[in-house]
Every structure is written in structure tokens, then in C-alpha cells.
Amino acid sequence: MRTHDFAAIGVGPFNLGLAALTADLPGLDGVFLDQRAGFDWHPGLMLEGVTIQVPFLADLVTMADPTSRFSFLNYLKRAGRLYPFYIRESFYPLRAEYNAYCQWVAAQLPSIRWNTLVETVTHDGDHYEVHTAGETFRVRKLVLGIGTEPRVPAVVAHGPYVHSADYLPNKRRLQALDSITVVGSGQSAAEIYHDLLGEIETYGYHLSWLTRSPRFFPMEYTKLTLEMTSPEYIRYHHGLPLRSRDRLGREQRNLYKGISGELVDAIYETLYTKSLAGPVPTTLVTGVELEGAIWDGQRYTLALQHAEQGRSFTAGTEGLILATGYAPRVPAFLDPVRDRIRWDERGRFDVAVDYSVDEKGSEIFVQNAEEHTHSLTAPDLGMGAYRNSVIIKALTGREVYPIEDRIAFQQFGAPTADLPRALVAS
């Protein structure tokens, strides 16, 4: 049986970037496996005109290799769109445009096997064996990029609720109802609310937006805060005690799970414009926790608790959209090799700073499964090429793409030596 150097399981943007960055490396034999028929990035949220939240430089390859044939700029050139993109004068590609770019890259990579469901992974004493319905792949190393899964609050157990990941296929059904409620705090909730608000008179529904956040907060996007997406901050955050990391994970959500300031303003502008004709049939409430959701066959009764006032109340709605984010998952196919993986005290991957999770620290690597150890850099598209550079070094034993050690002006954590006297406040 042929032995591959590695198998990458799941082909989202991060493992697709790995496929692109390893495609032209001589002597490295990788295979990429995905159960889907092809690449399609968040199709349920492919709203017209919506952009990704990182600049085009955060494509699959550029931050590791600006000369790569798989860059976003090369895609634009090949598609005849480079000059229109230049004239547009925006660093932020459309979400549909980013998806088309990824599909263009994927179509050039014969190492990707679509329609290939991984059923189980075993170890024969020397190598890993990745078993699919029709074939077994023997490999030396694994890279797990299966992504996250939609998070649904436990209190929503029944009824035709829609997670934001499935919004577009269900949009017309929802608009035929007399009331729609969006529950959530971040960009997806805001995009869906804004999309439904734009057609509120056409369909005549009442539209509500409920969030447990104390306000509709914008994503923080200042330059010194952006330095937290850096190798220095990864090392600093990774070195903190587990409880400190988990606390910071909760506190830092507005750094990458808030709403773009432009969208907040666009929502207000839409509300203001529509209010000229009279009261807009919409309700926005902050600081509320969803504590229950009863479906009676026709509508939901939502049990809500206002955190600051300590008051309970209910709300009725026919349509319920849960923009409640995504949660990491540990796939069942890893069960036979669980004893080869490091776990933290909460049952999560114990991810090393180099993204390895196996006991030897050199065999199994993860993509976007390390938010609890690497903070906001885990889901950040802009850090994907950096992480892949680190993983490629582990796969090949050499630094194929230069790995930045320091990029930030600021220092994270206490200095290792006393600061010069002139820098210490008297």
C-alpha cells in the first residue's frame, strides 16, 4: 500500500491553503479528503454585496508566499477582474468573490479527493490508516481541518428553527410568516437582520432582533488591537494558565465576533429612512438571555431574561433564526486513536504552540480547533497562511516558508527584565 506523507481531513479555507502551499513542493506527498462534492464556503450566508472581514492579502497563500500562483490577485488577473477590483478601491473582497477564488484554487489541485467521507482513523503501529467507504489511505501524519458545527442553544429543542448557516435556503419560507425573530450578537445576526429589514414592507412581517450582549457592539479594528493576531500574542496567550485563557476567550469576543461598524451604521440608516413613512414594525432588544423556546405547532413562545434589570418576559414569533455561532467538535472517526492525542482537563484538544495535538508532538495537527489555546488567531483567515507555514515546517522538517517571529510593536506580558529607569513612571 502506498504511504502518503500526510492526509488532511476536511477542505475548508485553511486546509485548502495547505493544499495550495504544498502543491509545488517536491518530495512531499499529501492527500486531502472531504465528504462534500466540492468547495462551497458558507453558502447559506452568501448575501449579495457582503464582504469578508479581512483584506485580500489574507487569501490562501500570500502571507506565506506572495509569489504563489494561487494568490487572490492572480485569480483576479486570470478572471479579467483585476482592474475593476483596483478601481473599486476596497481591500475587502466580496464574500461570493472569495468563494469563487477558493473554488478556482481547488479546481487546480489534484491532491483533493471530494465525495470522500472519512469513517475512521486507526494506527497500525507504524502509520495512520484513514478509512473511507471505498479506500484506505496509509499516512505518516494527519492535519485535521473539519471546521466547527452550528451551535444551537439547548433550550431550542423543537420546531422549524433555522440556524444562520442555513438562512438563504429558508429565507422565502421565513418571509411568508407574520413574524421573524433573530437571536444572536455578531456579524451574521446583523447581516440577516439587515437583509430582512430591507424587504419588511414587501412581505409585511414583524422583525425582531434579540441579543444577550449589552449593546450592538462593533468589532474592534484598531491597529494596536490587530497586533493581537501575531506570533508574539500566540506565544503569550498559549503560555497562560487554562482558566486565564478561557476567561480571555469570553472577554475578547468583541475583537472578532462583533459587527462591522459600517453595517451597524447601515442598519441605523435603513431604520431611519423607513421611519419616514411611520413606525417600522421591528423590535430590537439588548441584554436578554434566551431561557426557553416552546413550539406549539404554529409559533414559538420565547422565555427571555433581561440581565441588567433581572426581569423575565416572553415573546411570540412564527419564525426563529439562531445566529448563535459555531462550536468546535471532535470527530468520532478519531475514537480509535484517542489514546495518541493530548486532551486538556475539559476534554478539548491540548494544542501545542506548533498546532500539534498528539502525544509525540509531531504527528497530528489541527486547523481552527485551537481557539482555547491560540485565542482569536484560530478562526482568523489572515493567520491561516502563518499556521500552514508552521505545519509545513513540521511536515517537511525545514522552514519552507519564512515564519515570522516578531511583527508587533507592543510587548505582551511582563518583561523578562526590569524596564529602563526612564520608562518607569515615578
* 319, β-bridge pairs: 180
The answer to whether residues 89 and 22 belong to one domain is: yes
Q: Give domain status of residue 381, yes or no.
A: yes
The answer to whether residues 35 and 61 belong to one domain is: yes
The answer to whether residues 29 and 83 belong to one domain is: yes
Q: Give domain status of residue 239, yes or no.
A: no
Nearest 5°: the CA angle 194, 192, 311 is 90
The answer to whether residues 87 and 137 belong to one domain is: yes
At residue 192, the pLDDT reads: 98
Q: Give domain status of residue 374, yes or no.
A: yes
Q: Could you list the residue range(s) of the whole structural domain that residue 159 is in?
A: 151-219+257-323
Among the three residues 323, 345, 364, which one is the final residue of a domain in this structure?
323
At residue 158, the pLDDT reads: 92
Among the three residues 288, 304, 323, which one is the final residue of a domain in this structure?
323
Q: Give domain status of residue 114, yes or no.
A: yes
At residue 242, the pLDDT reads: 94
The answer to whether residues 281 and 391 belong to one domain is: no
The answer to whether residues 304 and 335 belong to one domain is: no
Q: Give domain status of residue 226, yes or no.
A: no
Other CB atoms within 10 Å distance of the CB of residue 356: 23
The answer to whether residues 132 and 164 belong to one domain is: no
The answer to whether residues 174 and 309 belong to one domain is: yes
The answer to whether residues 129 and 168 belong to one domain is: no
At residue 251, the pLDDT reads: 82
The answer to whether residues 40 and 162 belong to one domain is: no
Which residues does the chain have with pLDDT short of 70?
254, 421-426
* 236, β-bridge pairs: none
The answer to whether residues 75 and 128 belong to one domain is: yes
Q: Give domain status of residue 123, yes or no.
A: yes
Q: What CATH number has the domain bearing residue 271?
A: 3.50.50.60
Evaluate if pTM is beyond 0.85: yes
At residue 421, the pLDDT reads: 67
Burial 298-323 (b: 16+ CB within 10 A, else e): ebbebebbeeeeeeeeebebbbbbbb
Q: Give domain status of residue 236, yes or no.
A: no
Among the three residues 274, 294, 323, which one is the final residue of a domain in this structure?
323
> In whole angstroms, what is the distance from residue 190 CA to residue 358 CA?
39
At residue 426, the pLDDT reads: 45
Q: Give domain status of residue 387, yes or no.
A: yes
The answer to whether residues 71 and 156 belong to one domain is: no
Q: How many domains does the chain have?
A: 2
